[in-house]
Structure 1
Amino acid sequence: MTVHFIAIGGAAMHNLALALHYKGYEVTGSDDTIFEPSKSRLDKAGLLPEAFGWFPEKITGDLDAVVLGMHAKSDNPELLKAQELKLKIYSYPEFLFEQAKHKTRVVIGGSHGKTTITSMILHVMHYHNRDVDYMVGAQLEGFDVMVKLTEENDFIVLEGDEYLSSPIDRRPKFHLYKPNIALLSGIAWDHINVFPTYENYVDQFRIFVDSIVDGGSINYNEEDPEVRRVVEASQNPIRKIPYYTPEYTIENGQTFLETSEGPLPIEVFGNHNLNNLAGAKWICQHMGVDEDDFYEAITTFKGASKRLEKLAENKRTVIYKDFAHSPSKVKATTEAVKAQYSNFRNLACLELHTYSSLNAEFLKEYKGALDAADEAVVFYSPEAVAIKKLDSVSKDQIEKAFERDDLIIYTNPEEFKSFLFDQNLENTALLLMSSGNYGGLDFDEVKALLS
């Protein structure tokens, strides 16, 4: 099979391209620019385009399929050529479904926690040498790629993203997977550029639950009121199985999970991560892993990349980096670090980087998100606001939104870096939360603060 990728350099797209290449497909692609690590990974596999740009001559009637990435525009010259030739054009999730339609599809959905839960499941399967196909949104320890596709594996585990499928397919990705086994971890308004009202956003999860195949099942976070309402109101003839945060204790910076065999030390921490763990355990049991085997494997799970990732540690200081940017994630992550390191000063730094977080109307959703921190810093770039063509955001608006009088706010990357590197980190848990890099912060330099 010959497949061409329009916008092959994206994080998801290049991983799918690699998965098909390793499966034996003939893969080509184009993009106007490709950043690391996508560039090196494509180059190593011989899939890096010879030149950046869009080349309609690459689109011929010999192609079996064209996969269209979200980064491309609806007037992309290669897309127009493919439409003219009446080629089969797939969005990323559509193509994944085509690859998975004869498998048992396990789909992990939710505004938050889905990457971690998917990663936990895959870690357990990998630990016990159980081979499954998968698609996950983070690089995992022990895994070479973020997408794996085979002919022979019975299960495929998919991280169910609610963002749009492609420039010409405005359906959320997770509407297209038709799960046999599903999980819903939480609902907290996000992606306001696509879902302008809270109700519109929640509707996407109702559709997801109703897309589960007849006789399928959903495990759902009973502790999230909106999740509970959505799942319990669904008329879909499926099994509905709630899960809860398990009992746990914290002793001297170590979290212990309460099990029938006694306290079990684990690497991850925080109420939200223990809740994620409970959901992952249910899914693994559906996939044939019993509770004892799950516990044995999960003790070695250290987290997904960029999700409460420990950058550096010594006896007096610990530094974490986290992808958290939405209000619910920021709140959960800040509270987790404070609970785990209750004897340390908790310094939490948040970059407002996404479209939603830089929207003046959405800012009020951050009320109380940083309350658990002893000291809280917010960084944002006025240039990023302008690039996203949003109304300007003032420091006063941010201070009022978080409702924290002592909030420290920076808009200049060098000033933020100076603040950070001038800190006395003795007895401190430093938490850096962002989906960006604070305007160019080198995290290797941050690690070196403890060397």
Structure 2
Amino acid sequence: MHIHFIAIGGSAMHNLALALQHKGYNVSGSDDVIFEPSKSRLSSKGLLPESFGWFPEKIHEGLDAVILGMHAKADNLELLKAKELGITIYSYPEFLYEQSKNKTRVVIGGSHGKTTITSMILHVLNYHDISVDYMVGAQLEGFDRMVHLTEENDFIVLEGDEYLSSPIDRRPKFHLYKPNIALLSGIAWDHINVFPTYENYVEQFKIFVDSIVKGGSITYNIEDAEVKNVVEQSENSIRKLGYSTPEYTVVDGQTLLDTPEGQMPIEVFGKHNLSNLAGAKWICQNMGVDEDDFYEAIGTFKGASKRLEKIAERTNAVAYKDFAHSPSKVAATTKAVKEQYPNRKVIACLELHTYSSFNPEFLKEYKGALDAADEAIVFYLPESVKIKKLKEVTKEQISEAFKRDDLNIQTNAASFKEFVFNKNYDNSVLLLMSSGNYGGLDFEEVKGLVSG
């Protein structure tokens, strides 16, 4: 089959392109800009477009299908040509469903934790040489790609994102997968540019639970009141399996998980990650992995890329990088670090740069999110607000939102870098939380700062 990708350079899209090439498909693609690491990874497999831009002549009747990425616009020239020729057009999640409609689909959903839970499940299965198809939103140790598709595997494990499917399909991605086995980790308002009210956002998770195949199952976090309400009120004829955070202790910076065989040291830490672990355990058991085998494997799980990722360490200092940017994730991550290092100074740096974080109403959701930190810094670039064509966000608004008198607010990339590099990190933890890079901060330099 010949599949053409419109916007091949995206994180998810280029991984799907690589997976289809690996499966034996003829793959082509276009994009107007491609960044690293997508660029190098596509180039290494001969899939990098010769020229950037959109070329209608790439769309012809010899194509079996087109996959449309979110980066493309609805008036994209290649998309219009595909419509004109009547070529089948898939969104990313539609195509994944098409590839897995004869498999048992395991879908991990939730506002937070879904990447980590999916990663834990895949780590355990890989540890025990159990082959499955998968799609996960982070690069994992021991895996070549974030997407893997075969004809022969019985299971596919999918990270269920609630964001939109494509520029011409406004349905959330996880509505299209029709899971046999599902998990719901938590609900906390996000993507305000798409779901302008909390109620509208919660509704998407109700639809997700109702989309589970009859006779299937939902494993859900009973400690999250909204999740509990959504799942238990659903009239879908499915099994409902609740989970909660397991017992654990922290001794000298080491988290010990209570198991039937006694306490077991694990690499990940924080209440939210222990909750994620409990959910992953139940899903693995539903997939045929014994509890003992799960514990044996999970002890070697070090975390998904950019999810509380340790980037540097010396005797009395450590630095972590985390993808956290939404209020609930920021609060959970900051608390986890302080719990793990109660006798160290936690210096938490949060970058605001998403559409939601610049919305005055949504900004209020950050109240108390950095309270667990000993020193709290919020960084944002006023230029980013202008680029998104949003109303100006002031330091006063941010200070009022976080409700922390000693909050350090930085609005200049050079000044922020100077601040970071002039700190004394003895007996400290540096926590960098962002889905961006603080206006160009070199994380390799930061590693040397903390480990040197």
Q: Tell me the distance in 1 between the aligned counterparts of 2:173 and 2:301.
A: 27
Aligned residue number for residue 97 of structure 1: 97
Q: Deviations over 1:211-262 (max 9, x none)?
A: 0000000000000000000000000000000000000000000000001110
Aligned residue number for residue 45 of structure 1: 45
Q: Tell me the distance in 2 between the aligned counterparts of 1:288 and 1:177.
A: 21
Secondary structure, counterpart of 1:391 in structure 2: coil
Aligned residue number for residue 116 of structure 2: 116
Deviation of 1:315 after TM superposition, in Å, equals 1.3
Aligned residue number for residue 418 of structure 2: 418
Deviation of 1:361 after TM superposition, in Å, equals 1.8
Secondary structure, counterpart of 2:357 in structure 1: coil
**Amino acid in structure 1 at the alignment position of 2:309:** E
Aligned residue number for residue 405 of structure 2: 405
Mapping of 1:297-376 within 5 angstroms?
297-376=297-376
Aligned residue number for residue 194 of structure 2: 194
Deviation of 1:353 after TM superposition, in Å, equals 1.3
Question: Is 1:133 matched up with 2:144?
Answer: no
Q: Tell me the distance in 2 between the aligned counterparts of 1:405 and 1:390.
A: 26
Mapping of 1:146-161 within 5 angstroms?
146-161=146-161
Aligned residue number for residue 32 of structure 2: 32
Deviation of 1:90 after TM superposition, in Å, equals 0.2
Q: Tell me the distance in 2 between the aligned counterparts of 1:385 and 1:211.
A: 37
Question: Is 1:62 matched up with 2:68?
Answer: no
Deviation of 1:383 after TM superposition, in Å, equals 0.6
Q: Which runs of 5+ in 1 are unaligned?
A: none
Identity %: 77
Aligned residue number for residue 281 of structure 2: 281
Mapping of 1:73-92 within 5 angstroms?
73-92=73-92
Q: Tell me the distance in 2 between the aligned counterparts of 1:211 and 1:128.
A: 30
Question: Is 1:440 matched up with 2:440?
Answer: yes
Secondary structure, counterpart of 2:319 in structure 1: strand
Deviation of 1:62 after TM superposition, in Å, equals 1.0
Deviation of 1:109 after TM superposition, in Å, equals 0.1
Deviation of 1:78 after TM superposition, in Å, equals 0.2
- Count residues in correspondence: 451
Mapping of 1:194-273 within 5 angstroms?
194-273=194-273
Q: Tell me the distance in 2 between the aligned counterparts of 1:243 and 1:288.
A: 18
Deviation of 1:444 after TM superposition, in Å, equals 0.3
Structure 1 length normalisation: TM-score? 1.00
Structure 2 length normalisation: TM-score? 0.99
**Amino acid in structure 2 at the alignment position of 1:323:** F
Aligned residue number for residue 162 of structure 2: 162
Q: Deviations over 1:139-198 (max 9, x none)?
A: 000000000000000000000000000000000000000000000000000000000000
Q: Deviations over 1:64-110 (max 9, x none)?
A: 00000000000000000000011100000000000000000000000
Secondary structure, counterpart of 1:60 in structure 2: coil
Q: Tell me the distance in 2 between the aligned counterparts of 1:33 and 1:413.
A: 24
Q: Which runs of 5+ in 2 are unaligned?
A: none
Deviation of 1:358 after TM superposition, in Å, equals 1.6
Secondary structure, counterpart of 1:195 in structure 2: coil
Deviation of 1:117 after TM superposition, in Å, equals 0.0
Aligned residue number for residue 392 of structure 2: 392
Secondary structure, counterpart of 1:361 in structure 2: helix
Q: Tell me the distance in 2 between the aligned counterparts of 1:211 and 1:368.
A: 35
Deviation of 1:418 after TM superposition, in Å, equals 0.5
Secondary structure, counterpart of 1:337 in structure 2: helix
Q: Deviations over 1:47-78 (max 9, x none)?
A: 11110000000100111000000000000000
Aligned residue number for residue 185 of structure 1: 185
**Amino acid in structure 2 at the alignment position of 1:68:** L
Q: Tell me the distance in 2 between the aligned counterparts of 1:289 and 1:392.
A: 52
Secondary structure, counterpart of 1:431 in structure 2: strand
Q: Tell me the distance in 1 between the aligned counterparts of 2:131 and 2:343.
A: 42
CA RMSD of aligned residues (A): 0.4
Q: Tell me the distance in 1 between the aligned counterparts of 2:127 and 2:260.
A: 22
**Amino acid in structure 2 at the alignment position of 1:13:** M
**Amino acid in structure 1 at the alignment position of 2:341:** Y
Q: Tell me the distance in 1 between the aligned counterparts of 2:4 and 2:435.
A: 29
Deviation of 1:392 after TM superposition, in Å, equals 0.7
Which 4+ stretches in 1 moved above 4 angstroms? none
Q: Tell me the distance in 2 between the aligned counterparts of 1:322 and 1:328.
A: 13
Q: Tell me the distance in 2 between the aligned counterparts of 1:124 and 1:354.
A: 33
Secondary structure, counterpart of 2:305 in structure 1: coil
Q: Deviations over 1:324-343 (max 9, x none)?
A: 00000000000000000001
Deviation of 1:360 after TM superposition, in Å, equals 1.8
Secondary structure, counterpart of 1:371 in structure 2: coil
